Amino acid sequence: MNSLASIKDYLLLHFLVLIWGFTAILGLLISLPPLELVFYRTLLAALGVGLLIGYKKESFSIPWRQLLRICGVGVLISLHWIFFFWSAKVSTASVCLAGMATTSLWTAFVDPLINRTRVKWYEVGLGITVISGLLVIFQFESGYWLGLSMAIISALLSALFSVLNGLLTRYHSPYQITFYEMGTASLVALLVLPFYAYFFSDGGEIQWYWKGLDWLWLFLLGGICTVFAFSASVELMKRLPVFSINLTINLEPVYGIVLAVLIFGENEKMTSFDFWRK
């Protein structure tokens, strides 16, 4: 890979992270509770990328063994988002982000384990440095160990599906991978919804209906922030190290906070809104 191509890839990666940072704003605008939003987001994303595959006349066909692997990664993605949103619900945004900051550190161990290579200790050091920096920036609040634990689990799941997607891109197109992973993630969210509603939502009800401009924000979230951004990130995994991608994704909350301040004003507080990640 030449240096110009590498620079373009990293610029695209930062643009994708900026888009994912904008999902925080969409999370504020959409009236749906967290899990219902995950369901609709992934469902719309699966439908959108399915239409795109049809338009490009690409094949949906994948050997069933590979399909099972892709769907298994889809389960990890759905669980990642569920744990992430629950973390924000039972604690604060800063606690959630403090836990998610461990993603690059997890990747430093998960990647060598799955790819059977040696641990790169400079990656471990960078991961620890990122965690330390974000803890200072987001002023971690103690006393929310349940939320922190959920966020750390979410970060581990993020590292797992990122590394596994890096392997899958060797055999399948990003659109095929995104279609089946988003479809599986939507199904998992749908199956979890009744339990979530019974134990965690007010009145044990599921909010199926949309309000106001929810339809517009959901299509932006599903189309731009998920179909485009997720597919492009999967494509980048063919050329960029997974650790570098996850290290850059740690800038997402920074971008999200800047965008929130620009849109909602200087009175916007970090702990007052959820980060609806990618």
Q: Tell me how far apart the alpha carbons of residues 150 and 146 are, in angstroms, rounded to a whole number.
A: 6
Residue 182's pLDDT is what?
A: 92
What is the structure's pLDDT at 244?
A: 78
pLDDT at 179: 92
Give ∠ CA 125-130-134 in degrees, rounded to 5: 150
Q: What is the pLDDT of residue 36?
A: 85
The reported pLDDT for the residue numbered 270 is 45
Per run of 10 residues, the mean pLDDT along the chain (length 278 residues) is 68 84 71 82 89 84 89 92 76 69 82 80 72 59 73 88 85 86 94 79 74 86 82 81 75 67 54 41
pLDDT at res. 204: 65
Residue type, 1: M
User: For residue 261, what pLDDT is reported?
Assistant: 62
Contact 250, 20 (CB under 8 A): no
Confidence (pLDDT) at 74: 93
For position 94, what pLDDT does the model report?
62
Q: Which sign, positive or negative, has the C-alpha torsion 82, 85, 87, 89?
A: negative
For residues 203 and 15, the answer to whether their CB atoms sit within 8 Å is: no
Model confidence, pTM: 0.76
